Amino acid sequence: MKVVKLLSSVLIVSGMMSVAPAHAAGDAAKGKTLYSRCAICHSLDAGKNMIGPSLSKVMGRKAGTLTGFSYSPAMKKYGKAWNTQTLDTYIAAPMKAVPGTKMVFAGLSNPKDRADLIAYLQSATK
Ligand code: HEC
């Protein structure tokens, strides 16, 4: 009886691990390192647009709405706000998520890298 109980709890734990959500909390420290790939085009300082728009306070911001940055028509009509879900989709494959975007970035294919990066953006751009 005891063994059965132990076995079933082991099964439950391993079962939980295999269905871990795709958007598990990321590691902001790792995300900071990954952000170096974005930093060549994006500043985290408010109002500082470079090749790409400033990502200061990007969370919750509607796409394509920063004044002073010349967005592509595609980004202007994308119409969604940036949150963990929309950012995840965009960073995975920018040209697929927003066809016609002028962000020249191939995408981060690893979901864990994206989660880490988004965790960093959440902590760094409030
Ligand atoms: C080669 C330069 C470049 C790199 C590298 C780059 N971006 Fe961009 N990014 C852009 C440009 C240009 C735009 C504007 C896109 C448009 O108007 O279609 C943009 C737009 C964005 C937007 C939309 C912002 C808004 O105001 O709506 C987000 C979010 C974003 N990038 C995140 C990232 C992240 C995160 C990374 C790193 C994984 C990254 N970008 C890497 C150039 C870049």
Contact 63, 79 (CB under 8 A): yes
Query: 123 alpha carbon to ligand 1 midpoint, in Å?
Result: 18
Please report whether residue 4 resides in a domain. no
Q: Over 60: is that where the pLDDT of 111 sits?
A: yes
Please report whether residue 34 resides in a domain. yes
Q: Report the CATH number at residue 56.
A: 1.10.760.10
Please report whether residue 13 resides in a domain. no
Please report whether residue 64 resides in a domain. yes
pLDDT of residue 25: 80
Nearest Cα residue to 28 out of 112, 105, 103, 90: 112
Joined tokens for residue 19: 């269905």
Pocket of ligand 1 (CB under 6 A): 37-38, 40-42, 51-53, 55, 58, 63-64, 66, 71-72, 74-75, 82, 87, 91, 101-105, 108, 117
Structural domain tally of the chain?
A: 1
For 23-78, the pLDDT digits (tens) are 568 999 999 999 999 999 999 999 999 999 999 999 999 999 999 999 999 999 99
Query: 5 alpha carbon to ligand 1 midpoint, in Å?
Result: 51
Please report whether residue 98 resides in a domain. yes
Domain around 28: 24-124
Please report whether residue 8 resides in a domain. no
Q: Over 70: is that where the pLDDT of 88 sits?
A: yes
Please report whether residue 115 resides in a domain. yes
Query: 14 alpha carbon to ligand 1 midpoint, in Å?
Result: 38
